[in-house]
A = this chain, B = another copy of it.
Amino acid sequence: MGRRTQAEEPAAAAVRPLRRDAELNRHRILRAGREVFAARGLQATLNDVAHHAGLGVGTVYRKFPDKQALAEAVFTEELDEIAALAREAQSEDDGFAALAAFLESALGRAAHNRGLRELMRHGAVEGTGLTRARREITSHCEALVARARSQGTLRDGVDEADIAPIAAMIDAVLALPGEHPSELWRRYLVIILDGLRAQPGQTPLPDPDSAN
């Protein structure tokens, strides 16, 4: 495969600017994708998206070859927004509070976004943009955990790797039957955070990979 700079295209496709209406439709699709994936989850059909956008299926398939492609575009945006929440949370002085604030805000997003939760769960949709955003979030998490630990407010043995399972647990509450959006998850986040706080005379945490 020959490496080709950009502008000139002998065989490859030139990046011709979209016609104005086509560009508009692209936005419509993206927005519809956000809404539909948020409401119905990743298993929503591109047909669903098209209908929601008020467009034909063909139009959607023209812009995004398959669901994967659309999902990648949509969720890259959303993950970036969550990374921004993490950045904001850093401004909190108390390390534990910062971590708590991040979890609250990020999970607050997830609460209204079923697709995002499914993405968190299965890590499906391995797009380039996604892994980048994901990595960014991970590094913020590391920083938050490290700071809380250095301030001694985090329970001994708690680790950056605990964040994902915690998110998964809250996700499970969100996924519980019952009409949405419910705020029940906050209750359990409080419980978990209290279990995460350093306390005198705490039981040591079981090793992540103990073979009991």
Q: Taking beta carbons and an 8 Å cutoff, which residues of A are in contact with B?
A: 121-123, 155, 162, 164-166, 168-173, 175-177, 182-184, 186-188, 190-196, 199, 202-203, 205-212
Specify which of A162, A166, A168, A175 lies most central, judged by the most chain B CB atoms within 10 Å of its CB: A168
- Is the CB–CB distance between A176 and B168 below 8 Å? yes
Q: How far is the CB of A173 from chain B (nearest CB, A)?
A: 5
How many copies of the shown chain assemble into the complex?
Answer: 2
A203 with B194, Cβ < 8 A, contacts A168-B172, A177-B123 known: yes
- Is the CB–CB distance between B191 and A195 below 8 Å? yes
Listed by A's residue number, 16 A-B pairs whose Cβ atoms lie within 8 Å are A121-B175, A165-B184, A168-B175, A169-B169, A169-B172, A169-B188, A182-B209, A183-B206, A186-B212, A187-B208, A190-B195, A191-B195, A192-B192, A194-B194, A194-B195, A195-B196
- Is the CB–CB distance between A177 and B208 below 8 Å? no
